[in-house]
Amino acid sequence: MNTLRAKITFLLVAAILAVVILATVLSFFMLERPRVDKAIDAAAMQIALAYSLTTDAARAAASDASIVAGGIVGVKNAPAAGTSIDRAEQDLSGKLRQRGLSPNLTVTLSPEHAWPVASVDLGDGRWLVMPRHTQPEPDVQALLNQIRITLPSQPPPRIKTSQITPK
């Protein structure tokens, strides 16, 4: 390590390592932890709204009427198939109980969808089936585009009044 080239190389490597370590340490202290409870509360609020709309307005609708184009979200005769996600069921059920609702709820991950699907028992043999997938924020989408990750496409929600019959 007597040559100038070796000393400059060592100095550059040390500087790069110091910047990476410093950035990592600062990111732990400056960035706050993700707020999972807020995301669960928002999902529970959406489910509660859809549940109350469905039970109030769609009692006379056909038993297999799809509310959203594509048939992903809707009132079905059975819950969505797939493997059960117990922790999500417990968290969502707890948040729904806080909102005064206690429906039978299952959250499954099916092989045909890349996201969890929440199924809520309407109490009359029908199930409200809702995927728990949202589009990323614009800044997150820009980051995903930068690192060349594409998420599965999701049809925009289209609620048709002809599919919901009011009381």
What pLDDT, on the 0 to 100 scale, is given for residue 160? 52
SS3 101: coil
**What's the mean per-residue pLDDT of the chain?**
76
| Residue 89 near residue 96 (C-beta atoms within 8 A) | no
> What are the pLDDT digits (tens) for 9-58?
999 999 999 999 999 998 888 887 767 777 788 888 888 888 877 776 55
H or E, element range at 48 = helix 36-57
Helix (H) or strand (E) holding 12: helix 4-30
The H-assigned helical ranges of the chain are 4-30, 36-57, 86-98, 138-146
Max avg pLDDT among 23-27, 75-79, 125-129, 159-163: 23-27
Distance CA 28, CA 46 (A): 32
Predicted local distance difference test score (pLDDT) of residue 70: 44
Res 134: pLDDT: 60
Report pLDDT digits (tens) over 109-120.
877 666 788 888
Q: Quick check: 81 and 112 in contact, CB under 8 A?
A: no
pLDDT at 22: 94
Reported as a single tens digit per residue, the pLDDT across 46-97 is 888 888 777 765 554 444 444 443 445 677 888 888 888 888 888 888 888 8
Query: Is residue 44 within 8 Å of residue 50, measured between CB atoms?
Result: no
Q: What is the pLDDT of residue 101?
A: 83
Residue 18's pLDDT is 96
